[in-house]
A and B are shown apart, each in its own frame.
Chain A
């Protein structure tokens, strides 16, 4: 625990170094070294705890508000702490060269300072063991994220996205404050231990607590329909902050839900089904909205909604398994959720860093203004391709492993009689996977392959090693988990057992259920990599004896193809959007030989904003009450007095009768 707090202090020192050291180079170096070291130091006890060690709790009993402040690291905390530290470190190291060119017109030092405090707050959220420090760290995390989102505050779209984010996150926090206030007053204390002890007293097996938790943590996680703040905010933030937000910050919502389940015990049945349904909706709608986007970073942000959906599928089926006494389903479901959280953190931050590199090199993130970057940025392209294959869930990378665990939980629910309808989640997950494949084929094809569509794309050059390094480390992590899944699945199963409230025996049961399969997945993955590499090498040998001609792309007889004839990303997505789009609120229109897709967000554009406008209009209509003249207020006073007297008189009359 001491090492953990040393890490937090190092992070804060790193932030201070970035803000205060006079010379620019020293500030950058100090920030990178101290903050990176802080992440490493904070991750060390987490790895120890995941390996089976125990970390002593830290209790602050001095004069602090809200009772004792307790901090501890159990497998659940440790798992998320590793995510925070890994993505945090990558984001810090990438951020230094990424923001270096912005120095002229923006306050880069403050951005670095805020990033460092943000990571420290994230780390504190997952180790807090009582409600007061948890909520404080939570709020620090949320508010600092706002300041990071509006880094490019001179753009109107950025300020709007920031404001919507702030409203969204505070509504969520409000639900959490209500949750802990209600529960703490029942429990007579705010430490998690006291709350857990009071859990059996919660009426209706904790219905209110679970509802408030799903609302509060759901806002942070960005599940449909509470996701409306997410695409704007993640699209507007600087790319390394987007990576941190998409990879880690929204995962705090998942952490909160898992922590809630550990404290209260198995959630009610309806909650399990609700989470399953919300997960399915988030997954399918998220990927459909992503398919319709024209902005690379907004597209990636919608994929976060999709992946939160996959995580919730695991969480929901885990909850059902726990409720219906099927420990293997419970452990696999929760473990699948945890593992996909880790994997999504890795590949999504990788993709955001890749998108940042594209933005850095070309100055645009409009997908249909890019193209042909595979030749110009070969290393970024390789890293981005790894991230794409991983997020689509294809072997031999990590996305496949966690989706496979979620599939395992879903398919095994067929044996649990009351929960067997959950097997239809398999079809949903298959649909999500196939749509994600279409979406990333679109992104990779339009951004990196073919020919550059504009001069901006033509002039794209590879980014420096400072930005490539973090991308390659994240890509390597994706490959390692994909090839040797056991290294990540075993800790995830410990988390699953903890959340499912079953002992270590269940870990062994779960491990026994999946370990042989995981070993065969390793065999399969290596065989696949080996056969593709060997096959490509053999083809090279074989093709040496044949003539090879270079030519223009075959245009079916047309001799003068131009760059503008390339299939665009919008056209690529059109058949799918024409079929599925209406259900997701995406409009496809064809007019004057032109073709448009309008990526409206069903919730934000059709529900939240109209509601907001109506609320504002209503508020304006009652504004004449406030005239600012004294006699009007005296009249109000008189009117209220008369009304009160009349009421009293009537009451008296009724009593006297």
Chain B
């Protein structure tokens, strides 16, 4: 455990609410509006934190634990990603499985919390959430396989490290495919257009938002923060694949990470401005395309390593 790893994790915890803000700002500017301040989510969180909460009489302890678990699992997953480019706080062979399954645990409990309310709207959102996740998971794992094959390392810290930087010049097309696939997964996991629309106002068209309809006050603050953390975590992962920074000193690598995350957030905003949301029935095709891209990347990398 190095100081830079700890500093990087703390930094990601701090800047996480910035990512949805930047995306929203980009979207507004491209539409010719002034838009909400970039720091809007911070104000929202602090306001929600001071508010009281309303609990449905149907709910049980699951409903109260789920927001905490969402933040805790996302936080634990953060500790597995080499944010400073060199080494994560906790790194072991096959830690990418733990990364994905920790986020899955957070999702599982949040889905249970939604079903705990007995609301048909939230049941619908929960059902859509697990459907999207079932299609996104293979793509995410194929992306992990690709970086593992490209680098010859089995931990995230190794796979996103110096070996990956060395693999880029020879395997650029395959790794570019993987990066695109990972970006599509980011859009799905972060509940962004074209999979989900964070700005929609009709419950029937929502996925993630409708699932947390009954959360209020501090619980809602945790849910919003957890989602933002998850989004910036995927952005950090994408930056790790596109720009391995193992060779850089931490004082350069950390600002580079922030810059990369900002670029990813702007990219999300641009995507949201230029594309419409997909019909729900089309989402599986969108994510299957992401899986196919990543699978192609893996095939190219395997073929390359064999010769």
Contact = CB atoms under 8 A, between A and B. Distances in A.
A520 B99 CA distance: 13
B64 A539 contact: yes
Interface string A496-528: 000000000000000001101100110110011
28 contacts: A403-B97, A411-B154, A427-B295, A435-B134, A437-B130, A449-B116, A450-B115, A514-B93, A517-B95, A524-B80, A524-B98, A531-B72, A531-B75, A532-B69, A539-B218, A542-B218, A543-B53, A549-B53, A549-B55, A550-B57, A561-B119, A567-B120, A567-B122, A567-B126, A567-B127, A576-B130, A576-B131, A579-B135
Interface stretch (A52-60, A438-446, A606-614): A438-446
Interface stretch (A7-15, A386-394, A585-593): A386-394
Given A434-B137, A539-B218, A579-B131, A444 B148 contact: no
Contacts of A573: 127
B108 to A, nearest CB: 6
A578 B58 CA distance: 30
A438 B67 CA distance: 19
Nearest to A453: B118
A372 B62 CA distance: 12
Given A553-B214, A572-B123, 19 more contacts: A394-B104, A408-B94, A423-B302, A427-B142, A434-B136, A441-B108, A446-B115, A517-B92, A528-B73, A528-B76, A531-B75, A535-B71, A539-B219, A539-B222, A548-B53, A567-B124, A571-B123, A575-B280, A576-B134
B306 A555 contact: no
Contact of B108 (A389, A435, A575): A389
Nearest to B63: A449
A392 B108 contact: yes
Given A433-B101, A548-B55, A575 B127 contact: yes
A593 to B, nearest CB: 15
A449 B306 contact: no
Nearest to B302: A420
A431 interface: yes
B141 interface: yes
Interface string A532-565: 1001100100110011111111111000010101
A571 to B, nearest CB: 7
B101 A395 contact: yes
A546 B52 contact: yes
Interface string B42-82: 00000000111111111110101101110111011001100
A87 interface: no
Contact of B112 (A431, A441, A536, A565): A441
A375 interface: yes
A372 B56 CA distance: 13
Contacts of B122: 567
Contacts of B148: 411, 414
Contacts of A428: 138
B120 A565 contact: yes
Interface in B138-153: 138, 140-142, 144-145, 148-149, 152
Contacts of A69: none
A555 B119 contact: yes
A433 B104 contact: yes
A421 interface: yes
Most buried by B among A429, A433, A553: A553
Interface string A410-433: 011011010011011011111101
Nearest to A431: B138
Contacts of B213: 554, 556
A520 B80 CA distance: 11
A574 B124 CA distance: 10
A583 interface: no
A566 interface: yes
Nearest to A440: B108
A415 B128 CA distance: 37
Contacts of A357: none
A465 B115 CA distance: 28
Q: Which 6 A-B pairs have the closest CB atoms?
A: A567-B123, A445-B115, A547-B52, A450-B118, A517-B92, A430-B141
Nearest to B53: A548
B134 A434 contact: yes
B133 interface: yes
B284 interface: yes
A147 interface: no
Contacts of A415: 152
Nearest to A421: B302
Nearest to A393: B101
A571 B295 contact: no
A433 B140 CA distance: 13
Given A566-B118, A567-B124, A573-B127, A412 B154 contact: yes
B57 to A, nearest CB: 5
A620 B284 CA distance: 48
Nearest to A548: B53
B225 to A, nearest CB: 12
Contacts of A543: 53, 217-218
A354 to B, nearest CB: 15
B90 A404 contact: no
B222 to A, nearest CB: 8
A264 to B, nearest CB: 30
A407 interface: yes
A183 interface: no
A374 interface: yes
A553 B190 CA distance: 26
A423 B105 CA distance: 24
A400 interface: yes
Contacts of B193: none
A263 B253 CA distance: 55
Contacts of B295: 424, 427
A451 interface: yes
Nearest to B146: A423
Nearest to A371: B118
Contacts of B219: 539
B123 A437 contact: no
Given A393-B101, A532-B68, A449 B118 contact: yes
A179 B70 CA distance: 52
Residue among A411, A427, A547 with the highest chain B CB neighbour number at 10 A: A427
A645 B106 CA distance: 81
B83 interface: no
Contact of B58 (A411, A420, A451, A536): A451
B20 to A, nearest CB: 22
Contacts of A435: 134
A451 B141 CA distance: 37
Contacts of A555: 119, 121
Contacts of B50: 546
Contacts of B26: none
B208 to A, nearest CB: 15
Contacts of B76: 524, 527-528, 531
A524 B59 CA distance: 29
B298 interface: yes
